[in-house]
A and B are shown apart, each in its own frame.
Chain A
Amino acid sequence: MFPTTLAELPPKLPLRRLIYCWLLDPDIKDNLRAKFDRNIATLIIANMLAMLFEQVPAIYDGYKMWFHWFDMFSLAVFSVEYLLRLYLAPEDSEFSRSRFPRLRYVFSLYALIDLAAILPFYAAFFMAQGADLRILRVLRLMRLFKLFRVLIPAIQEFRELNRGRTFRQQVFALVAPSEFGGKLHSFFDMFIVIWVMISVIAVVMESVESVYRVLALEFVILDAVAVSIFTFEYLMRLYSCVEHPKFKHWLAGRYRYATTPTTVIDFLAIVPFFLEAILHQLFDLRFLRVFRLMRLMKLTRYTGATQTLMNAMKREGPVIGASAFIMMLLVVLAASLGYLFEHDAQPDKFENIPQSIYWSVITLASVGYGDISPVTPAGRMITVVLALLGIGIFAVPAAVLSSAFNDQLRIDRETMQEELYKMLEDGTISEDEQHTIDREAARLNLSADEVQRILERARKQRDADKAQQGGIPYELVQEKPRIALEQFRLLLGQMKQVTELADRAKLDELLARTDETTALERQVWQQLTIEQDRIAAADRAS
């Protein structure tokens, strides 16, 4: 049997096999393969960014050496990776059957891509002095193709999962979480998240004049690319949403989907670009630039934190509403009294009740800017009372919200534990179930240790319940023949034990009473005793 975890690896494994198992073996679940691939992918993306920034003289000129050393570092890592894969090729089942596994690896698609990523650098050594090396710099873009090592398997998996499904269903699987999305859907999400971050950083940096002065044109290009990507995503979501049972109708469904909060955010993330491009000569649309920061809210689609907060607020709505009502009552009352006592003394500051409301809110919230302060003894007395009440009044909704948030998280975790309990009913966790666990863990911000603890708790609970029930639940026995067989074997084993341990003469006597036992019981007992006698005779003979 092949090992599936590092713990199952046999001792004294040859070094090459050991390195392969630790770094590249796709069958070993807990090895460093995922981390290795992720780090290489990150380095490739960093390389792409470095290449882009190299085109900006204002950045490149100041940090030439940094760019150079980063390039050297990347090249060293990619070269080591190539050599390592070449060295380990005979261990890979894809090449090991070949007579010349390494040669086979060298001519495989991925190896050619890897080679193309590093070759331009080494080729420079063999080129004539004074040759134009710009082409080699362009060839560095080949490093981007290294991402195909991750992408191609994801695309293959996606095609496999979506075999026989329509174009629209496939688009839906790509953009929305479903069982058909696979890794490609995760990559799509990651791609959008990265672009949201880039775009938001660009919008923030644009407001820094010294940065904008240098990168004005680059910001325009970046914005156009970001909007293209977000438009593409928005349209794909809108087009394929009818695959979701909630938005089935081709027009009404799409309209309903378009008015959901997350889709409205998606729309607001792209619309400023169009308005600004078309209407900039007619209106002052500078405020739209700030609207581009709405793109940050696109991330709410990918995190459960906002949903948890909304659930908490919904649950504690009456309490929050009550405290808001008391707060409003107090604010208006204090403002009216402040106006009454202070208006004559400071008509410019306590000009009217709305202005006094500003003072009472600032006092109640313990902010106290000091731009409006009472001077009359009565006004000061009210301020003292208001400030003291403010501490309690503002603390109530804050505490309610915080405890509701904690409760919501606890409920979510308990729900997850229940889910895990159900998943463990068959004793194992399938790949799909693991995927669900990972997704839920990410949503609830749970670390691997916490997930393990919850899993352990669910397992213990399941074992305890099973022990209490005296076996496996009947539904499971009905649904899963293999589990039924195991249960049958278990019971048979127990019956054999009874036959061995019990006083046979007395039990024979009891079973002989036809009014107390059934024919089947007597028949099974007889069979078991015959079997036991046969085993005993065989033991004696040997």
Chain B
Amino acid sequence: MTDQQKTQRPRYFRTFDLVFVVFLLGMIGTVLLLGHHNHMETEKVEGMRISATKFQSWLEAGQQLREAGKPTEPIVCSRGPRKIQVAADASPEEAGSKAPGYNWHDCLQALQAPGQEMAGLLNPLDPSSLAFAGKCDRNSLPTMGAIIVEKGMVGISGTTQVIAYAPIADHDSLHDEVLLRISVCGRGFMTLSVAELKF
């Protein structure tokens, strides 16, 4: 091959090719890094789902005690006395505070106390966020990763019976039996349902 031919022949690997290869490797690295991050976060959410399943088991066991008229452990999660009548124009907070029975807020707090069923439960995505929430709310970042507890209300639409779910409020009484839906607020605010049960 002559020198002229050598110079005419395009080079096998040029600077731009190197830039491409580096960029390509960088992109693959980024995808793998993001994939790893996704995996870690999904693992955390899965951990929370296991906790939610544990909570579900506790609710099922508690329901049996409640049906037998026995107190549950912790005691603030027991049925308690019937809620007293309050003025019709009273605010929900006021109505809740006047109820002598136990409410959901106290029950969930007590459940997370040391030695209890859900002791040390933290939001896996952000430990400073909520562990329990009433709604997987995309406008509220702290709800991501939390266990969602909702109460079901039976309604009639036409001839069909439908159940509408609403967030459990802190002051909601534990006296009356309610239909509960337990789920986990996953990544991207995707709700992962765990169970529906009565408590």
On A, residues with C-beta under 8 Å from B are 164, 166-168, 209, 212-213, 216-217, 220-221, 223-225, 227-228, 231-232, 235-236, 239, 250, 273-274, 276-278, 280-281, 283-286
**Which residue on chain B has the smallest CB distance to residue A224?**
B35
B144 on the A face (CB < 8 A): yes
Known: A166-B10, A231-B31, A284-B138. 13 other contacts (CB 8 A): A166-B17, A213-B192, A216-B42, A217-B43, A220-B42, A221-B35, A224-B35, A232-B27, A235-B23, A239-B20, A277-B37, A284-B189, A286-B188
Give every chain A residue within 8 A of B163 (Cβ-Cβ).
none
- Given the interface pairs A228-B32, A236-B24, A283-B138, the reply to whether A168 lies near B17 with Cβ below 8 Å is yes
Q: Do B38 and A228 touch (CB < 8 A)?
A: no
B165-199: which have CB < 8 Å to A? 187-190, 192-193
A45 CA to B52 CA, complexed, in Å? 38
Q: Do B35 and A216 touch (CB < 8 A)?
A: no
Q: Do A228 and B35 touch (CB < 8 A)?
A: yes
Give every chain B residue within 8 A of A220 (Cβ-Cβ).
35, 38-39, 42
B117-140: which have CB < 8 Å to A? 138
- Size range of the interface on B? 35 or more
Q: Do A286 and B17 touch (CB < 8 A)?
A: no
Give every chain B residue within 8 A of A167 (Cβ-Cβ).
12-14, 17
Q: Indicate with 1 or 0, residue by residue over B11-22, a CB within 8 angstroms of chain A CB atoms.
A: 111101100100
- Given the interface pairs A209-B193, A217-B46, the reply to whether A235 lies near B20 with Cβ below 8 Å is yes
B61 on the A face (CB < 8 A): no
A273 CA to B30 CA, complexed, in Å? 11
Q: Do B35 and A231 touch (CB < 8 A)?
A: no
Q: Do A224 and B39 touch (CB < 8 A)?
A: yes
Give every chain B residue within 8 A of A221 (Cβ-Cβ).
35, 39
- Given the interface pairs A166-B11, A216-B46, A224-B39, the reply to whether A280 lies near B188 with Cβ below 8 Å is yes
Give every chain A residue within 8 A of B14 (Cβ-Cβ).
166-167
Give every chain A residue within 8 A of B162 (Cβ-Cβ).
none
* Chain B: minimal CB distance from A172 (Å): 12
Give every chain A residue within 8 A of B23 (Cβ-Cβ).
235
Give every chain B residue within 8 A of A232 (Cβ-Cβ).
24, 27-28
**Which residue on chain A has the smallest CB distance to residue B193?**
A209
* 10 smallest beta-carbon distances between A and B, as pairs: A224-B35, A277-B34, A280-B188, A284-B138, A228-B31, A220-B42, A239-B20, A220-B39, A167-B13, A167-B17
Q: Do B37 and A286 touch (CB < 8 A)?
A: no
A286 CA to B189 CA, complexed, in Å? 8
Prevailing SS type, chain B contact patch: helix
A220 CA to B40 CA, complexed, in Å? 10
On B, residues with C-beta under 8 Å from A are 9-14, 16-17, 20, 23-24, 27-28, 31-32, 34-39, 42-43, 45-46, 49, 138, 141, 144, 187-190, 192-193
Give every chain A residue within 8 A of B45 (Cβ-Cβ).
216
Q: Do B27 and A235 touch (CB < 8 A)?
A: yes
Give every chain B residue within 8 A of A283 (Cβ-Cβ).
138
Q: Do A286 and B35 touch (CB < 8 A)?
A: no
A216 CA to B16 CA, complexed, in Å? 40
**Which residue on chain B has the smallest CB distance to residue A287?**
B188
Give every chain B residue within 8 A of A168 (Cβ-Cβ).
17
A227 CA to B38 CA, complexed, in Å? 13
Give every chain A residue within 8 A of B38 (Cβ-Cβ).
220, 223-224, 277
A103 CA to B67 CA, complexed, in Å? 79
Give every chain B residue within 8 A of A273 (Cβ-Cβ).
31, 34
Q: List 19 A-B contacts (CB under 8 A).
A: A166-B12, A166-B17, A167-B13, A168-B17, A212-B192, A216-B45, A217-B39, A221-B35, A223-B38, A224-B38, A228-B28, A239-B20, A250-B16, A274-B34, A277-B34, A278-B34, A281-B141, A284-B138, A286-B189
Give every chain B residue within 8 A of A166 (Cβ-Cβ).
10-14, 17
Q: Do A217 and B31 touch (CB < 8 A)?
A: no
Give every chain A residue within 8 A of B17 (Cβ-Cβ).
166-168
**Which residue on chain B has the smallest CB distance to residue A222?**
B35
Which one of B17, B31, B42, B187 has the greatest number of beta carbons of chain A within 10 Å?
B31
Which one of B14, B38, B39, B46 has the greatest number of beta carbons of chain A within 10 Å?
B38
Give every chain A residue within 8 A of B36 (Cβ-Cβ).
224
Q: Do B144 and A281 touch (CB < 8 A)?
A: yes
**Which residue on chain A has the smallest CB distance to residue B187?**
A280
Give every chain A residue within 8 A of B46 (Cβ-Cβ).
216-217
A223 CA to B188 CA, complexed, in Å? 16
A209 CA to B189 CA, complexed, in Å? 16
* Chain B: minimal CB distance from A31 (Å): 39
* Chain A: minimal CB distance from B34 (Å): 4
Q: Do A224 and B190 touch (CB < 8 A)?
A: no
- Given the interface pairs A167-B13, A232-B28, the reply to whether A285 lies near B188 with Cβ below 8 Å is yes
Give every chain B residue within 8 A of A213 (Cβ-Cβ).
49, 192
Give every chain B residue within 8 A of A217 (Cβ-Cβ).
39, 42-43, 46
- Given the interface pairs A217-B39, A277-B38, A286-B189, the reply to whether A224 lies near B11 with Cβ below 8 Å is no
A221 CA to B36 CA, complexed, in Å? 8
A51 CA to B45 CA, complexed, in Å? 26
Give every chain A residue within 8 A of B16 (Cβ-Cβ).
250
A211 CA to B31 CA, complexed, in Å? 25
Give every chain B residue within 8 A of A223 (Cβ-Cβ).
35, 38
* Chain A: minimal CB distance from B60 (Å): 18
**Which residue on chain B has the smallest CB distance to residue A284?**
B138
Which one of A164, A217, A273 has the greatest number of beta carbons of chain B within 10 Å?
A217
A33 CA to B42 CA, complexed, in Å? 46
Give every chain A residue within 8 A of B42 (Cβ-Cβ).
216-217, 220
* Chain B: minimal CB distance from A268 (Å): 16
Give every chain B residue within 8 A of A284 (Cβ-Cβ).
138, 188-189
A281 CA to B28 CA, complexed, in Å? 23
A281 CA to B49 CA, complexed, in Å? 19
**Which residue on chain B has the smallest CB distance to residue A280?**
B188
**Which residue on chain A has the smallest CB distance to residue B19?**
A239
- Given the interface pairs A277-B34, A283-B138, the reply to whether A231 lies near B12 with Cβ below 8 Å is no
Checking B10, B24, B188 against A276 with a beta-carbon cut-off of 8 angstroms, the contacting residue is: B188
Give every chain A residue within 8 A of B9 (Cβ-Cβ).
164
**Which residue on chain B has the smallest CB distance to residue A278?**
B34
* Chain B: minimal CB distance from A378 (Å): 29
Q: Do B35 and A227 touch (CB < 8 A)?
A: yes
A476 CA to B56 CA, complexed, in Å? 84
A290 CA to B34 CA, complexed, in Å? 19
Give every chain B residue within 8 A of A228 (Cβ-Cβ).
28, 31-32, 35
Give every chain B residue within 8 A of A281 (Cβ-Cβ).
141, 144
A487 CA to B146 CA, complexed, in Å? 87
* Chain B: minimal CB distance from A257 (Å): 14
